């Protein structure tokens, strides 16, 4: 158990660093390679969505949901995740492994992939329920500090109402974060990993900007409500320094066009005026004209 815990803590620490380096979008090849622990390679994903590297004796280290996968994992009304069994046999070794994770309260990693080859991660997650009739496990996210700093207390109070409530709250926040990360990845992928305004192709500097903000009741988490923008143009778009018409033409605000403030303003904003943005190749993914019109009216009001 000590070795098992050491490996999991090492995996969580490694993931923390890699998530920072990759802006939360972890390449599959990186996760397949994993990290070295006492001279042995520890991979974090593999051929199965329920993954156990060789170094661990019984309990898997991660579970994965992919948008193109055969299993329909989903969040329940209480915000906890329903994760499907491997196949239909409750006694498949992968399902048995997750059942042991629940019994021993072993922390796992949850990966979510919206586009091939890119993963968002949440950790530690726990199996907190098992429903053989519906072939599902129930998964909750917890605070890393309780695993790293207070493992004994975490085990003792695992089923306390206060701790159950905390896990539900954290899971709710993680669900929102994963949704935003998934939106960003899908939008950037649709735009061939470039800024729609300046064509910058450094993915680490790109965002999935909402046309209609996600706080708006009419907002949707679909690519058609998104535009791939570099961080400069995302901030300028959100600040209404420029708008995008329903015909995909950029209009820079009049007062900004008259300003004199060096080459960044000239090349970064003013020269975009009356040019067209890059749009996705798929007609289903291009920005929704009605949403653009709604946003452009707000831009005109801001000007």
Q: Token pair of 91, please?
A: 């006694």
Q: How far is CA 70 from CA 10, 62, 117, 182, in A?
A: 30, 17, 17, 18
The pTM of this model reads 0.86
* Contact indicator for 61, 44 with CB cutoff of 8 Å: yes
Q: Give pLDDT, residue 119.
A: 96
Q: Rounded to whole angstroms, how far apart are CA atoms 139 and 105?
A: 11
Residue 9 pairs in a beta bridge with none
Q: How far is CA 228 from CA 5, 26, 214, 294, in A?
A: 40, 19, 15, 18
Q: Give pLDDT, residue 6.
A: 92
Q: How many Cα atoms within 13 Å fall on the side-chain side of residue 138?
A: 13
Q: Rounded to whole angstroms, how far apart are CA atoms 69 and 49?
A: 9
Q: Rounded to whole angstroms, how far apart are CA atoms 275 and 254?
A: 15
Select from 115, 111, 128 the least CA-distant residue to 64.
111
φ and ψ at residue 171, rounded to 5 degrees: -60, -40
Q: Give pLDDT, residue 151.
A: 61
Measured over all CA atoms, what is the biggest interatomic distance in the chain, rounded to whole angstroms?
Answer: 70
Q: Give pLDDT, residue 153.
A: 57
Residue 65 pairs in a beta bridge with 112
Strands 62-66 and 108-113: parallel
Q: Give pLDDT, residue 117.
A: 93
Helix ranges, the chain (H): 2-21, 28-33, 93-104, 144-148, 151-156, 161-190, 231-238, 254-258, 263-268, 289-302
Element (H, E) at 226: strand 226-230
* Residues 6 or more apart in contact with residue 185 via CB below 8 angstroms: 25, 114, 115, 118, 120, 208
Domain residues of the chain, as ranges?
Answer: 2-187, 194-302
Q: Rounded to whole angstroms, how far apart are CA atoms 23 and 27?
A: 11
Q: Rounded to whole angstroms, how far apart are CA atoms 299 and 59?
A: 54
Question: pLDDT by residue for the chain (303 residues), tens digit each?
Answer: 588 999 999 999 999 999 999 988 999 999 999 999 999 999 999 999 999 999 998 999 999 999 877 777 888 877 899 999 999 999 999 999 999 999 999 999 999 999 999 999 999 999 999 999 999 999 999 988 777 655 665 666 677 887 788 888 999 999 989 989 999 999 999 999 999 999 999 999 999 999 998 776 666 789 999 999 999 999 999 999 999 999 999 999 999 999 998 888 999 999 999 999 999 999 999 999 999 999 999 999 886
Q: Rounded to whole angstroms, how far apart are CA atoms 297 and 244?
A: 10
Select from 95, 111, 114 the least CA-distant residue to 103.
95
């Amino acid at each position: 158990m000590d070795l098992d815990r050491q490996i999991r803590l090492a995996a969580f620490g490694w993931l923390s660093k890699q998530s920072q380096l990759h802006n939360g979008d972890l390449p599959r090849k990186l996760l397949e390679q994993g990290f070295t622990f006492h001279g042995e390679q520890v991979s974090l994903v593999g051929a199965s969505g329920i993954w156990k590297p060789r170094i661990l004796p019984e309990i898997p280290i991660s579970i994965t949901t992919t948008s193109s996968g055969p299993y329909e994992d989903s969040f329940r009304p209480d915000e906890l995740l329903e994760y499907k069994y491997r196949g239909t046999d409750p006694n498949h070794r992968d399902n048995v492994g997750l059942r042991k994770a629940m019994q021993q309260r072993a922390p796992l990693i949850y990966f979510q992939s919206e586009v091939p080859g890119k993963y968002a991660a949440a950790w530690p997650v726990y199996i907190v329920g098992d429903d053989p009739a519906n072939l599902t496990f129930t998964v909750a996210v917890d605070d890393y500090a309780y695993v790293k700093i207070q493992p004994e207390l975490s085990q003792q109070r695992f089923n306390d109402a206060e701790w159950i409530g905390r896990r539900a709250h954290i899971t709710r926040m993680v669900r929102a974060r994963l949704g935003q990360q998934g939106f960003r990845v899908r939008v950037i992928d649709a735009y061939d990993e470039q800024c729609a305004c300046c064509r910058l192709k450094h993915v680490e500097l790109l965002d999935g900007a909402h046309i209609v903000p996600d706080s708006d009741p009419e907002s949707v988490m679909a690519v058609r409500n998104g535009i791939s923008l570099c961080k400069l143009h995302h901030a300028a778009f959100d600040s209404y320094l420029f708008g995008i018409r329903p015909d995909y033409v950029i209009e820079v605000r009049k007062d900004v066009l008259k300003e004199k403030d060096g080459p960044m303003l000239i090349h970064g904003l003013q020269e975009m005026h009356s040019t067209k943005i890059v749009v996705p190749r798929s007609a289903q993914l291009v920005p929704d004209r009605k949403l653009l019109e709604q946003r452009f009216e707000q831009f005109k009001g801001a000007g």
